[in-house]
Amino acid sequence: MAENNQNELVAKIVSLCKRRGIIFQNSEIYGGVQGFYDYGPIGSLMKLNWKNIWWTDNVIKRRDVVGIDGSIITHPTVWQASGHVKNFADIMVECKSCHKRFRPDLLEDSSKCPECGGQFTEGKKYNILFETEIGVIEGEKQHAYLRGEACQTIYLDFKNIVDSCRVKIPFGIAQIGKAFRNEITPKNFLYRTREFEQWDIQYFVHPSEMDKWYEYWKATRMAWYQKLFNHPENLKFREHDKDELAFYAKKAFDIEYNAPWGWSEMEGIHWRSDYDLTQHSKFSGQDLSYTDPVTKEKYLPHITETSGGVDRSFFFMLLDAYQEEKTESGDIRTVLKIKPQVAAYKIAILPLAANKPELIDKAEAIFQNLNAKYSIDWDDSSNIGKKYRRQDEIGTPWCLVVDYQTLEDDTVSIRDRDTMKQIRIKSDEVDSWLEKQLNK
């Protein structure tokens, strides 16, 4: 795809997100800060649903996975043990002419500046952990870090969970949580930011079963994303080359999305062996081994990790769902064809006219009947065309219109976002109809 088209699609999503209250640049009134975003009223509902689907499928529905919600700041030694203090660094170069900074590993041609063609300085290494201090008294403050990846908290809680939660190997610990990286070049909207959320599963197994469970999680995570994307052909695995592999990893695969700027990592499926528990045993002096309750074998479990970006996959899902369609009247209709489970509102209730109390009362009664069960929007502004357009743009799968016929025969019109077809059903059948649609 030509560069202009790539940027055009991303720009369209950014603009839609701002126009419809999905995502805003953080601190925009102060000119913004690069790499930080806020989810607005519609976006925060969508993101909550996005995370809920993950949590339901990976924790609630599984007997072999438990969840945690860990703290962002940890004991600073955690980041020594994990290797982040020493190695969590990116190389940065600066253009000698325009002084813009880049990560050479992310440039197509790392010999000259993509902005002005200028020469680069020598690369320098920068640690990308965010630093902070615990305590307020000068001289007694403890140097600390915002977590650079959420998964470390899982290793820290491993022993407590084994001791308190009757888990038996094989089992997983899952977490959704914030991570912070002082990225040198945040870019492409939510793709590379400095504050983001990750969804991780660390699955603990007997060393002899690593291969089996690695392949299981690799397939399971891909199938999960395929279910939520309209164009599964835009998802693929990328196997890491031997020289990319960590010394403890037998193999590694990324699940990639075919983004407008090229195939890009969305989630990593990592073979971590017993590296993390070994490191934390060494640095903490604690025994983190596991004793099999039946065989009494004592060993350090090995780990398959699935680590994905919540915001990054959310953005890819928006790119996948975004469509512009020519309507019969020749207009362009913008529609977010997201899965109903992800949509901020499952249905929008639209009384045909705001100035007809009978219509408003009937619509209000339907709203009250449904809103304990579903997230619903309400729009009694005047123009039905505009109301549909707004709901299409935020991905509301169905619009319910209360019109004059409703007052005669108690039926309402339901319009489908994707087909734009309308059906009429009795107003007291909407609940069961909606439930059926959502469970399809």
Q: Which is nearer to ligand ATP, 68 or 266 (CB)?
A: 266
- Token duo for residue 272: 């971590």
Q: Which is nearer to ligand ATP, 310 or 349 (CB)?
A: 310
End-to-end alpha carbon distance in the chain: 35
Site string for ligand ATP, 15-34 (x = CB under 6 A): --------------------
| 192 lies in the binding site for ligand ATP (CB under 6 A) | yes
Q: Which is nearer to ligand ATP, 26 or 413 (CB)?
A: 26
| 183 lies in the binding site for ligand ATP (CB under 6 A) | yes
Query: In angstroms, what CA-CA distances link 242 with 89, 239, 251?
Result: 21, 9, 8
Identify the residue among 43, 170, 268, 351 touching ligand ATP (CB under 6 A).
Answer: 268
Q: How far is the CB of 266 from ligand ATP (least distance, A)?
A: 5
Q: How far is the CB of 103 from ligand ATP (least distance, A)?
A: 9
Number of residues binding to ligand ATP, judged by CB under 6 A: 16
**Segment 358-362 long-range contacts (CB within 8 Å, at least 24 positions apart):** 358/407, 359/402, 359/403, 359/404, 359/406, 359/407, 362/402, 362/406, 362/407, 362/427
Identify the residue among 82, 175, 188, 193 touching ligand ATP (CB under 6 A).
Answer: 193
Query: Residue type for 433, please?
Result: W
Site string for ligand ATP, 137-166 (x = CB under 6 A): ------------x-----------------
Q: Which is nearer to ligand ATP, 110 or 413 (CB)?
A: 110
Selected range binding ligand ATP among 37-45, 224-232, 266-274, 431-439, rule: CB under 6 A: 266-274
Selected range binding ligand ATP among 17-25, 192-200, 229-237, 325-333, rule: CB under 6 A: 192-200
Q: b/e string for 48-80 if b means 16 or more Cβ within 10 A?
A: ebbeebbbeebbeeeeebbbbebeeebeeebbe
Q: Which of 380, 381, 382, 422 is nearest to 399 (CA)?
A: 422
Q: How far is the CB of 227 from ligand ATP (least distance, A)?
A: 18
Q: How far is the CB of 140 from ligand ATP (least distance, A)?
A: 33
- Phi-psi category of residue 166: left, alpha or beta, with phi > 0 → left and psi -120 to 50 → alpha: left
**Segment 105-112 long-range contacts (CB within 8 Å, at least 24 positions apart):** 106/185
Identify the residue among 311, 320, 379, 380 touching ligand ATP (CB under 6 A).
Answer: 311
Q: Which is nearer to ligand ATP, 198 or 202 (CB)?
A: 198
> What's CA 156's distance to the chain center, in Å?
24
Identify the residue among 49, 273, 306, 307 touching ligand ATP (CB under 6 A).
Answer: 307
Residue nearest to ligand ATP (CB): 309
Place of tokens 């996975």: 65
CA 210/CA 13 separation, integer angstroms:
40
Provide the sign of the torsion angle of the four alpha carbons 331, 337, 340, 345, taken in this order: negative
| 320 lies in the binding site for ligand ATP (CB under 6 A) | no
CB atoms within 10 A of CB 281: 18
| 103 lies in the binding site for ligand ATP (CB under 6 A) | no
| 196 lies in the binding site for ligand ATP (CB under 6 A) | yes
Contacts of 333 (CB under 8 A, 6+ apart): 324, 325, 326, 327, 389, 392
CA 306/CA 252 separation, integer angstroms:
10
Residues that bind ligand ATP (CB under 6 A): 149, 181, 183, 192-193, 196, 198, 265-268, 307-309, 311-312
